[in-house]
């Protein structure tokens, strides 16, 4: 699959399918998948200073402070592999992060090509988050009903153990969805005004959403 647009953001609520689709884009196109959630979870697992600061916010479902997240993402974006193309998953999540991203990219003589807004009904988001499992070794994402692994609890790709994320508890899901509505949803207008936004129906199966994304990457 060829693509004219190589620097993109996947915008969407928790459970919209950002991680699932970003992994597909990475596999098909070789773009670097940049997930601030994955970076933060890794820091928590390794027990770094950053991880210790972030863990409390994440487990409760709250956003980690902007300065921390802008710092880690900003550093990662400077790596050479991002020049070929990247897909941002979970960043930016606030207006401050969106403005910081513009500054970082401008400094590197890069700019965004496309922002894909994954539209998903709220009841679907809750069903997805409640049944999600993930491989602790390779990060592959499953769902107990929608996208089950062949052997329950075991990753099809690497044989690793599947686990449930700490923030996929009911109370934390509610906090995350509220944070999305109050702090992130305004980015839809922010990027519409720039003419960068395209909507994707992410409420159906993964293949349908991926086809829409692939078409959007070739347009124009």
Alpha helices in the chain (DSSP H): 18-29, 36-46, 49-60, 66-77, 95-107, 122-130, 170-179, 187-193, 206-218
Contacting ligand AP5 (CB under 6 A), which of 8, 11, 64, 82?
64
CA distance 88 to 31: 10
Residue nearest to ligand AP5 (CB): 37
Stretch that binds ligand AP5, among 15-23, 25-33, 77-85, 98-106 (CB under 6 A): 15-23
Name the one residue in this structure whose structure tokens are 């709250």. Answer: 62
For position 90 contacting ligand AP5 by CB under 6 A, the verdict is yes
Up-side HSE of residue 85: CA atoms within 13 Å toward CB? 17
User: Binding to ligand AP5 (CB under 6 A): which residues in 167-206?
Assistant: 167, 176, 202, 205-206
Report how far apart, in Å, the C-alpha atoms of 203 and of each of 13, 123, 139, 144 are.
11, 10, 22, 17
For position 16 contacting ligand AP5 by CB under 6 A, the verdict is yes
Q: Is 41 known to be catalytic?
A: no
Site string for ligand AP5, 128-167 (x = CB under 6 A): xx--x--------xxx--xx-------------------x
Contacting ligand AP5 (CB under 6 A), which of 6, 31, 32, 37?
37
Contacting ligand AP5 (CB under 6 A), which of 6, 19, 191, 212?
19
What is the H or E stretch that residue 127 is in? helix 122-130
């Amino acid at each position: 699959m060829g693509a004219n647009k190589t620097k993109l953001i996947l915008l969407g609520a928790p459970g919209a399918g950002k991680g699932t689709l970003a992994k597909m884009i990475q596999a098909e196109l070789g773009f670097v998948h940049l997930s601030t959630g994955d970076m933060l979870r890794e820091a928590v697992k390794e027990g770094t200073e950053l991880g210790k600061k972030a863990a409390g916010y994440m487990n409760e479902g709250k956003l980690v402070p902007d300065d921390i997240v802008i710092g880690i993402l900003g550093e990662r974006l400077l790596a050479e592999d991002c020049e070929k193309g990247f897909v941002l998953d979970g960043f930016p999540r606030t207006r401050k992060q969106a403005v910081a991203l513009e500054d970082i990219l401008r400094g590197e003589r890069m700019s965004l090509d496309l922002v894909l807004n994954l539209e998903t009904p709220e009841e679907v988001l809750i069903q997805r988050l409640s049944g999600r499992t993930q491989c602790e070794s390779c990060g592959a994402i499953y769902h107990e009903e929608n996208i089950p692994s062949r052997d329950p609890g075991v990753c099809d790709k690497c044989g690793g153990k599947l686990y449930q994320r700490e923030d996929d508890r009911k109370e934390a899901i509610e906090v995350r969805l509220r944070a999305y509505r109050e702090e992130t949803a305004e980015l839809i207008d922010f990027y519409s005004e720039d003419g960068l936004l395209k909507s994707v129906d992410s409420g159906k199966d993964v293949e349908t959403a991926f086809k829409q994304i692939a078409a959007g990457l070739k347009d124009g």
